[in-house]
A = this chain, B = another copy of it.
Amino acid sequence: MQPINRTNLAESAAESLRAEILSGRWAVGERIPNETALTELLAVSRGTVREAVRVLISKGLLDARQGSGTYVRSTVDASGALDRVKRTSLRDQWEARAALDVEAARLAALRRTPEDLERLFKLLRARGTVADGGREAFSQRDIAFHRSIVEASGNRAIIELYDFFTSAILETIHSTLNGDLPEPDDRAHAAIVEAIATGNPDEAAASVRAFMAPVLAELDRLLTQ
């Protein structure tokens, strides 16, 4: 194990330890050197070692047991995946969410229950226009409608990722843009519900894709100008 360079010792120490663990230096279940030993190996103070170890514990790589030692819990690190997704461009995130939306609509057309349909029609009617209750409220209703389509897909992995993207995108838009993206009209939304209701997957997917296009184009314009 190599000693660390200056600036952000704790971060560097965590990265160094993480690399050692991922390299398989210690097997799963094996005990790593104690804090004092790590202090010497990494050439940092015990407090810094603890910060690094605590990070790896939170990532699920290590497991500390008071009085016993610190053990390797896993040698594969998947926790960074969504962090890296969050660092991609707003455009990529929007496009990824749209991809999930498109395929979710396809699945929804194949699997929607009567309850799903009832909810979709209800939300479609309730969606209304921006005029009803202001922009923020309209945005909330719009999100609920789309979320409902994804929910009707019945795929929990897609639902989770869709929710993640929605909150991540909302956060970015609030902090950078001023929310002036084109809003697809009501007829476009109705077309999706129609396709899902009649059980036409290709039509459902195409409908979603069709109305995502102008938003993506506008996003491109905003981000490249």
Contact = CB atoms under 8 A, between A and B. Distances in A.
Given A60-B83, A78-B85, A28 B171 contact: yes
B157 A93 contact: yes
Interface residues of A, number: 54
Q: Within the oligomer, what is the number of copies of this chain? A: 2
Contacts of A175: 28-29
Chain A binding surface SS class: helix
A7 B66 contact: yes
Contact of A78 (B51, B156, B168): B168
Interface in A134-184: 155-158, 160-161, 163-165, 167-168, 171, 174-175
A89 interface: yes
Given A160-B84, A171-B76, A175-B29, A58 B55 contact: yes
Given A155-B95, A158-B99, A168 B76 contact: yes
A165 B158 CA distance: 11
